[in-house]
Amino acid sequence: MSTTTVTKATTESTTTTTGYAFGYRRVSSVQQDYARQTAALVEAGIDPARIFEDKLTGKTMDRPGFNAMLAQLRPGDVVVVSSLDRFGRTTTGILSTIDELTEHGVSIKSLKPGESFDGITGRLILTVLAAIAEWERANTAERAADARAARKAQGIKATRTKSALTAENIDTVTRLRASGSTIAAIVAKTGMSRASVYRALDA
């Protein structure tokens, strides 16, 4: 198996760390295929053996391919995608994935022009993404609160459900994420699965 490596300068010094380059591809329906994403990743020099994939349908955010890749990633590695929207359905989901990879010391590279995280433009992109994600989280929390108020006004009592995506859990996850909690911290605090936390953020 061939090895594709990337070199990334550290912010602390002029030394560099060398890691592996991984590719991630995702489609949103069973009718779609990975052909274009795969071609772009291979052309960018990614070893096909290090390309992971997910095919998400409906509202699910279970990502076995991403989780398998995450288990192999080490600090200094880089994850390459054809475009940032491969990381999630919403800005909140995309930013949560970027944050999770960053927490692991992993860099992100998008092959789509204009989506570089280098320099001033890169910082601007992340700032804009964060602002939009905060707006999405606030809207989600507001909708959940409105739904609870409407049920209460109609005399409808809250019922327990087997699903982790209750209005209360969505509200809790949204507030924790908005306060800066990591995905791992939210999982530990709520007892929800990582997939449920992502679904709550995308609700």
What pLDDT shows up at residue 137?
66
d(CA 171, CA 75): 32
Q: Under 8 Å CB-to-CB from 72, ≥6 apart: which residues?
A: 22
- As for how many domains the chain has, the answer is 2
Claim to verify: residue 25 and residue 103 sit in the same structural domain: yes
Q: Tell me which of 77, 110, 143 is where a domain ends.
A: 110
Q: 41-69 burial, b for 16+ CB within 10 Å, e for fewer?
A: beeeebbeebbbbbbbeeeebebebbeeb
Domain boundary among 110, 137, 162: 110
pLDDT tens for 116-175 read 777 677 777 777 776 776 776 677 777 777 777 777 777 776 554 445 677 778 878 888
Q: What is the pLDDT of residue 196?
A: 81
pLDDT in tens, 34-73: 889 999 999 999 999 999 999 875 455 678 899 899 999 9
190 and 126 in one domain? yes
For position 9, which CATH number holds? 3.40.50.1390
Contacts of 51 (CB under 8 A, 6+ apart): 22, 23, 24, 25, 38, 41, 42
The structure tokens listed for 5 are: 């490596």
The residue among 82, 110, 138 that closes a domain is 110
Name the CA radius of gyration of the chain, rounded: 19
103 and 168 co-located in one domain: no
Phi, psi of 11, deg, nearest 5: -80, -20
Q: What is the residue-wise DSSP string for 29-80?
A: STT--SHHHHHHHHHTT--GGGEEEEE--TT----HHHHHHHHH--TT-EEE
Q: What are 18-36's pLDDT values in tens digits?
A: 589 999 998 876 556 788 9
Higher-confidence residue of 148 and 187: namely 187
Question: Of residues 2, 13, 28, 29, which has the active-site annotation?
Answer: 28
> Is 30 within a domain?
yes
Tokens 């109609």 belong to 154
The parent domain of residue 154 ranges over 122-202
What's residue 11's pLDDT?
A: 29
Backbone angles phi, psi at 147, to 5 degrees: -65, -40
Residues 66, 144: one domain? no
The tens digit of pLDDT for each residue in 71-110 reads 999 999 999 999 888 888 777 778 888 888 988 899 999 9
Tokens linked to 45: 């020099």
Could you tell me how many residues make up the chain?
A: 203
193 in active site: no
Q: What pLDDT is stored for residue 18 in this prediction?
A: 58
191 shares its domain with 134? yes
Among the listed residues 143, 69, 43, 128, the one whose alpha carbon sits nearest the alpha carbon of residue 94: 128
